[in-house]
Structure 1
Amino acid sequence: MNTKKIYPLFLNNIETQKEESLNDIKEYRVIISFDSVPERDNFLSKNKQLEIINKFDFIPAFCVGLQKDQILNFDNDDSIKQIEEDQRLYLSILEVNEILELDKYKKSQISYTGKNVQVGIVDNGINTNFQAISNVSRYQINKVDKDPSKISHGTLMASIIANQFKNIEDDYIGIAPDVKFTDFDVSNLTNDFYFSQILEVFDSIIKEDLEIDVLLISLTTSDPSDGKDILSLACNLLVDRGIIIVSPTGNYGPDSRTIGSPSAASKVISFGAVTKELFINPFSGKGPTLDERLKPDFCLPGSDVKIPLSDNLAVSVTGTSVAAAIGAGLIAIIKEFKTNYSYNALFEILKNSCKDLTLDKFSQGYGMPDIVEIFKKMNLFHERILPYNFLAKKAIKVSVEFAVLYIIIYLLFLLF
């Protein structure tokens, strides 16, 4: 079938769909995009019978339910730029033991912790009732009542990035504990997630001029992508505006070409997941993309990561979104040091710091970023100098211990 405007991957889906009967005609959630808002509005004025689900301005488009014959009919409309499915998205976390070790970095004199960096999380909401989380501004797309005890996927993502609990050495557990969050909550009563919901988030960011430095989109499609779908293209445009976008590769491995959207987008920094033994997790989405590009970009731990949420509650999580959240935290640290780093500059910094795990390039990407190596290359990494007060207290303790030992030896000499 020769078509002009239907996205090829979507065309393949509707051509292979078999309708069992006339009463079982499938309706597709479709996004129709245009070159400009006036062209979109003109099209809608001529097709007032359409029941529009949503409209978007950042990329001029609208979402609507259409049957196959309607889709094929609109394919002949010259004003339309592209017709594609409003693809469903899935959370990229698997089951809910081991914390990512950044001890060497935290013991150095580097003080970057994500201060003044705004991290947006597009997910099913952040539950701020847990002690592990702070500094959250909520931006709820759909008004849904929340269970105050629920451990949502977004809660786990925020806890990985900026966990407020401390370890026995009094260091924060979170990667970048001082970041501020914008919670782009796209949850709904049916727990369904679509392209159109994220496009709505993008519209809000642009229209309201929201300050976002790093945007974690922890959802991905189950179908692979060539990076030319509307969500991927919208992500690239948002990156051009200065926002760094991070996404997991999804949990649809181990086969190749299992990178979905938006991680297949050329300017989205995508992360696959490795085990604590530094092997690629079998579930981690693998490249290349459908148009043969290298993805994932990088890999990070995404297996059995322990997260304390309160004094009495800790969970362990596994999935590529864990790796992506860690990646977002590392990027936030770099952005605090250099707020005006472009996507290209930041990508090169990550790439040049990577530890090559000597695994398949379409599984590991360029390898695993090393935060210590990043700051060493900037000549900013130095071992922490112990403070005078600590050394003085240590000296007193050693002196007392030596004096006690001397007295014991002296008494033993007198007695025997």
Structure 2
Amino acid sequence: MRGPHAAFDILLLPGPRVETLNPKIDPAILTAQSSTRSDDVPVIVMFGDRDQLQAFHRQGTRSRSGLSAGHLGTVLPWSATRMRRTDVHVLADNDTVRSIWYDSLCTTCLDRAGLDLGVPRIWEDWGLYGSGTVVGIADTGLDQTHPDFEGRVAGARDFTPRPAEGDPDGHGTHVSSLAAGSGAASNHRYVGVAPRAHILSARVLNFGGAGRMSRVMAGLEWLVDSGAQVLNLSVGTDINMVGEDPLSALCNTLSDQGTVIVAAAGNSGPRPQSIGSPGSAARVITVGATDGMGMVASFSSRGPTRQGLLKPDLLAPGYNIVGARAADSQLGDVVDQNHTIMSGTSMAAPLVSGLVLLMKEQQPELTPAEIKALLQLNCRSFNLPTTIQGAGQLDGWAAVHSLMPEPLPGSEPEPARPDREAGSPAEVPERSEPQGCLGVRVAKLFQWLRPVA
């Protein structure tokens, strides 16, 4: 494949094997190249600015990454393509190129297959169901014919090289239902955390739950452009990135622009430093999983990141979780025609995403940093290292309660009642209520933000 030439005054010619690695080049490119028969390697090229990116595409560079020809990153200046390794080295020598990364495979964070966040109590006490909020799910797709999503799918788009109807895999449908399923198919027994939120679905992973990082990035940009306030990423790479890879950089930028991003920690535990991108990104809410005994699940990935960041950020239930089953999908332990059981940090993340939707319904002006702080301040610690448990198991009711104004002395506020009974597969234990004003509680968070010495 020919690389860019006229815009950069370079000519790509076959050359000898280059042994010295340019610091702009991701070392994984060399590893991937040596492990495949093809001389081409999928890469993501990061440019200094959008003008340089557009100049790159004006030269007719051909992309075979699964994105449409001429695709430009809309948030960051990036482009996905395939090229020979010798071309990668030549391109890296040009000043307009900031870095070249291997276009890693992202996979679902699914393990062997609970719901103990206090959500039914939130519904009963304050009448919060996610009304007026939008969650974006980047996953294997969504079965829009499932009763749990009727009338609430705001949009869907396929970014895979072989588009398919709905969700042939089933992972994305299950994940979506945990964040925002209505429970209609189970007579409201299996209800998502925010059952009145609207859903945007980006199919970025194929049947089998895998897809290139560049497709995930394109999906995230579309979700934000389409109005998603909260993004759920129950996907991850199989390598521990340093948190500066293109996907992590995009997630951090979107968070800075106001979008809350929740990512699964991954299922490579109990090995230390096993959290991959995007969970390794500094500004995302990285969620590990607890098991059926309410302890840290053995499969839940551990920190710290290679940057030394303390991850995961917190834990949520991730074992034997019942959710929506896509039509004809055999993924998980099938319960009935409409439901299946799965386990993994893939399941823990959307429970947190749903809770964030309830918080956004109550206070839409909350920033991603404020939401992350409030979640971490309302966790139950297991007295384990932060690199294993983060802040601990999330107490969803306490997190939402921290947003509520204190009642006037002598007053007894009337709780908002739901218009129908909604079920939950777990009882809610009593929790101690948080004390102090929001500013004091947020200040306490700084102990969780120290890098590992």
Give TM-score, length-normalised by structure 2. Answer: 0.75
Shift of 1:205: 4.4
CA contact 1:278–1:357 (8 Å) conserved in 2: no
Shift of 1:321: 0.9
* CA distance 1:204–1:163, shift in 2 (3 Å): closer
Task: For 1:221 and 1:257, locate their aligned partners in 2 and report how far apart those are by CA, in whole Å.
Answer: 13
Shift of 1:131: 2.1
* CA distance 1:110–1:33, shift in 2 (3 Å): same
* CA distance 1:95–1:40, shift in 2 (3 Å): same
Secondary structure of residue in 2 paired with 1:303? coil
Q: What is the CA deviation profile of residues 311-358 of structure 1, one whole-angstrom value per residue up to 9, with x for unaligned ones?
A: 754321100010001110111111101111111111111111111121
Q: Is 1:153 aligned to 2:171, yes or no?
A: yes
CA contact 1:274–1:303 (8 Å) conserved in 2: yes
Task: For 1:329 and 1:84, locate their aligned partners in 2 and report how far apart those are by CA, in whole Å.
Answer: 32
Shift of 1:133: 2.5
Match of 1:277 in 2: 293
Q: Is 1:232 aligned to 2:248, yes or no?
A: yes
In the alignment, which of 277, 289, 302 is matched to residue 261 of structure 1?
Answer: 277
CA contact 2:315–2:393 (8 Å) conserved in 1: yes
Secondary structure of residue in 1 paired with 2:282? coil
Match of 2:198 in 1: 180
Q: Is 1:194 aligned to 2:194, yes or no?
A: no
Secondary structure of residue in 2 paired with 1:113? coil
Task: For 2:377 and 2:109, locate their aligned partners in 1 and report how far apart those are by CA, in whole Å.
Answer: 27
Residue correspondence of structure 1 range 318-337 to structure 2 within 5 A? 318-337=343-362
* CA distance 1:384–1:357, shift in 2 (3 Å): farther
In the alignment, which of 36, 41, 44 is matched to residue 28 of structure 1?
Answer: 41
Task: For 1:18 and 1:195, locate their aligned partners in 2 and report how far apart those are by CA, in whole Å.
Answer: 20
Q: Give 1:163's aligned amino acid.
A: G
Secondary structure of residue in 1 paired with 2:82? strand
Q: Is 1:141 aligned to 2:152, yes or no?
A: no
Task: For 1:181 and 1:87, locate their aligned partners in 2 and report how far apart those are by CA, in whole Å.
Answer: 27
In the alignment, which of 148, 164, 168 is matched to residue 132 of structure 1?
Answer: 148
Shift of 1:15: 5.8
* CA distance 1:177–1:343, shift in 2 (3 Å): same
Q: Which deviates more, 189-198 or 350-359?
A: 189-198
Q: Which deviates more, 37-46 or 282-291?
A: 37-46
Task: For 1:190 and 1:372, locate their aligned partners in 2 and report how far apart those are by CA, in whole Å.
Answer: 35
CA contact 1:274–1:300 (8 Å) conserved in 2: yes
Task: For 1:144 and 1:196, locate their aligned partners in 2 and report how far apart those are by CA, in whole Å.
Answer: 16
In the alignment, which of 77, 83, 105 is matched to residue 100 of structure 2?
Answer: 83
Task: For 2:310 and 2:205, locate their aligned partners in 1 and report how far apart those are by CA, in whole Å.
Answer: 31
Q: Which runs of 5+ in 1 are unaligned?
A: 388-416
Match of 1:64 in 2: 81
Task: For 1:99 and 1:301, locate their aligned partners in 2 and report how far apart those are by CA, in whole Å.
Answer: 6
Q: Is 1:38 aligned to 2:51, yes or no?
A: yes
Q: What is the CA deviation profile of residues 103-136 of structure 1, one whole-angstrom value per residue up to 9, with x for unaligned ones?
A: 6624742111111010000011111222223311
Match of 2:439 in 1: none
Residue correspondence of structure 1 range 12-411 to structure 2 within 5 A? 14=30, 18=34, 24=37, 26-45=39-58, 48=60, 50-51=62-63, 53=65, 54=67, 55-57=71-73, 58-96=75-113, 98-100=114-116, 102=118, 105-106=121-122, 108-134=124-150, 135-142=152-159, 144-146=163-165, 150=168, 152-165=170-183, 173-188=191-206, 192-205=210-223, 209-307=225-323, 312-379=337-404
Q: Give 2:312's aligned amino acid.
A: P
Task: For 1:41 and 1:167, locate their aligned partners in 2 and report how far apart those are by CA, in whole Å.
Answer: 48
* CA distance 1:69–1:136, shift in 2 (3 Å): same
Structure 1 runs (4+) deviating above 6 angstroms are 166-172, 381-387
CA contact 1:250–1:285 (8 Å) conserved in 2: yes
Secondary structure of residue in 2 paired with 1:259? coil
Task: For 1:112 and 1:29, locate their aligned partners in 2 and report how far apart those are by CA, in whole Å.
Answer: 44
Q: Give 1:159's aligned amino acid.
A: S
Q: Which deviates more, 64-73 or 163-172?
A: 163-172
Q: Give 2:110's aligned amino acid.
A: I
Cα RMSD after superposing both structures: 3.1
Task: For 2:121 and 2:405, locate their aligned partners in 1 and report how far apart those are by CA, in whole Å.
Answer: 11
CA contact 1:127–1:151 (8 Å) conserved in 2: no
Task: For 1:341 and 1:145, locate their aligned partners in 2 and report how far apart those are by CA, in whole Å.
Answer: 36
Task: For 2:255 and 2:339, locate their aligned partners in 1 and report how far apart those are by CA, in whole Å.
Answer: 35
CA contact 2:128–2:358 (8 Å) conserved in 1: yes
Q: What is the CA deviation profile of residues 132-155 of structure 1, one whole-angstrom value per residue up to 9, with x for unaligned ones?
A: 23311232134723368x561111
CA contact 1:108–1:383 (8 Å) conserved in 2: no
Q: What is the CA deviation profile of residues 161-185 of structure 1, one whole-angstrom value per residue up to 9, with x for unaligned ones?
A: 2232279997872211111101112
Normalized per residue, which structure has more helix?
1
CA contact 1:107–1:383 (8 Å) conserved in 2: no
How many residues matched?
377
Task: For 1:165 and 1:215, locate their aligned partners in 2 and report how far apart those are by CA, in whole Å.
Answer: 21
Match of 2:15 in 1: none
Secondary structure of residue in 2 paired with 1:132? helix
Match of 2:432 in 1: none
Task: For 2:98 and 2:239, locate their aligned partners in 1 and report how far apart those are by CA, in whole Å.
Answer: 22
Task: For 1:139 and 1:378, locate their aligned partners in 2 and report how far apart those are by CA, in whole Å.
Answer: 32
Among all aligned residue pairs of Structure 1 and Structure 2, give the percentage whose two residues are the same amino acid: 23
CA contact 2:134–2:229 (8 Å) conserved in 1: yes
Q: Which deviates more, 82-91 or 195-204?
A: 195-204
Match of 2:329 in 1: none
Q: Give 1:133's aligned amino acid.
A: F
